[in-house]
Amino acid sequence: MPGIDTTTLQRLDAAHHLHPFNDNAALAKRGTRILTRGEGCYVWDAEGNQLLDAFAGLWCVNVGYGRKELGRVAAHQMDELAYYNSFFQCTTEPTVRLSAKLAELTPHDLNHAFFTNSGSEANDTILRMVRHFWAVQGKPEKFNFISRHDGYHGSTVAGASLGGMKGMHKQGGLPIPGIHHIDPPYWFGDGGEMDEEEYGRVAAKRLEDKILELGPENVAAFIGEPVMGAIGVYIPPRNYWKEIERICRQYDVLLVADEVICGFGRTGNWFAAETFDFRPDVMTLAKGITSGYIPLGAVMFNDRVAEVLATKGGELAHGYTYSGHPVCAAVALENIRILQDEKIIETCRNDTGPYLAEKWKALGEHPLVGEARILGMVGALELVPRKPAREYFPDRGRVGQMCRDFALRSGLILRATNDAMLLSPPLVITKAQVDELAEKTWRALDLTARELG
Ligand code: PLP
């Protein structure tokens, strides 16, 4: 609809579009923000406002906006072969090349890719494939999954069930049977006086307790986000994942890392399994795999799991029309090439990441900030009524939203979950943009503090 004005678009949107994760009645009154253009770390809305996107869309635009190469490879692939499936003994060249590339990039022996359209579908896939893996080895009772309260693994029935978001479970009668949740590692909320090492052990032991409660012979897998994103960027103690791995091995429980946010550089390495030095059996990917330019998800299986599925599993009764879509695969390959050739992840790890960390930690000096946490290019500010107490505001979420709105008015996109301000910028953010981000965040905090009186 060329030339259509913003007010008309907002009216049509309110009339015809149900938005995910929105109070749609409130949104209809407020009017949707319509984004029109992006370049690097900035986006522009239909009113001409330039916004520094410190959230990379939805944790996904790792290489930044406006990379023409990605559009070019998509157009080229569409011209050559816009679509073919992977079902009937077929595949396409980009899909093969992407499988091999992912096998090369992901750590250890995660050598086998299964393609989906999204992170949610990747997590749905593991629920079925992991149960199948045990069943074909004569252990169908190894059926139960353990995950964390407040975790996020997507919005499909299995994804939301594996996740631990209570608000999501309330809608649609979730979780489905066979999924059990333990408390997450959230030092700010429940670390008490423990040091990092001790808290890491205590938090990981919750997994062992749950395995023993269910019986190890009944437990298929543990799944977790290495850094829990949506709930508020919970960065676990350094020893947490090593402990989790040890426990999984002890009881022969598969370890699944949901790297939908963490993968492709977010924590300063290609994958958070490297950052935390642990060895998943299965890894789920999406978002940064194409920098959000086109939908794609993947599951990486290690040799052990893939071999059982291939040799004992019979026909894999699972797949999507767009599993291994050649255009998405071509875009993913080009996105990975950009990340590699431009050494974007190395720059984050050695240069811009430490700079961002220093500036972000300095925001911890603000009277409203109870904790400033950051790892690589992902972080949070925990807003508190009183320092140094680790307390929450009574009406949780109100202050965070206030701060988010102040930031937006000054041209900065941050996300708020409860009263934590979340950070996840494009990995190409420059030091000058980090300065802008820090300055605008401080101003938003000031305005929030003033509003609170
Ligand atoms: N897993 C994690 C850790 C996520 O953060 C998300 C989305 O934010 C998902 C899975 C679901 O991915 P998608 O929205 O692509 O289905």
- Model confidence band, residue 124 (pLDDT cutoffs 50, 70, 90): very high
Query: What per-residue confidence (pLDDT) applies to 388?
Result: 87
Q: Verify whether ligand 1 is closer than 6 Å to residue 119 (CB atom).
A: yes
Asked if the model's pLDDT at residue 1 lies above 80, the reply is: no
Q: Dump pLDDT digits (tens) for 385-412.
A: 999 889 999 999 999 999 999 999 999 9
CB under 8 Å to 326, separation ≥6 — which residues? 77, 81, 82, 83, 84, 92, 93, 94, 95
Q: What is the pLDDT of residues 139-153, one digit of tens each?
A: 999 999 999 999 999
Give nearest CA residue, ligand 1 atom 12: 119
138 CA distance to ligand 1 centroid (A)? 32
- The per-residue pLDDT for 3 is 77
For the chain, the average pLDDT equals 97
Report pLDDT for 389. 85
* Closest atom of ligand 1 relative to the 225 alpha carbon: 3
Long-range contacts, 396-402 (Cβ 8 Å, 24+)? 399/368, 399/448, 399/452, 402/448, 402/451, 402/452
The residue extents of the domains of the chain are 33-66+343-452, 69-342
CATH number of 33-66+343-452: 3.90.1150.10
Task: Give the mean pLDDT of 326-343.
Answer: 98
Question: Among 120, 293, 328, which is best to mutate for testing ligand 1, by the most ligand atoms less than 8 A from CB?
Answer: 120
| Proportion of the chain above pLDDT 90, given as a percent | 98
Tens digit of each residue's pLDDT (9 = 90 or more) over 427-450 = 999 999 999 999 999 999 999 999
10-36 pLDDT, tens per residue? Answer: 999 999 999 999 999 999 998 999 999
CA of 163 to the centre of ligand 1 (A): 10
Quick check: ipTM above 0.90?
A: yes
Establish whether residue 286 lines the binding site of ligand 1, counting it when its CB lies within 6 angstroms of any ligand atom.
Answer: yes
2, pLDDT greater than 70: no
How is domain 69-342 classified at the CATH fold level?
Answer: Aspartate Aminotransferase; domain 2 (3.40.640)
pLDDT value of residue 174: 98
Say what the pLDDT of residue 275 is.
98
Residues 113-126 have a mean pLDDT of 98
pLDDT in tens, 34-53: 999 999 999 999 999 999 99
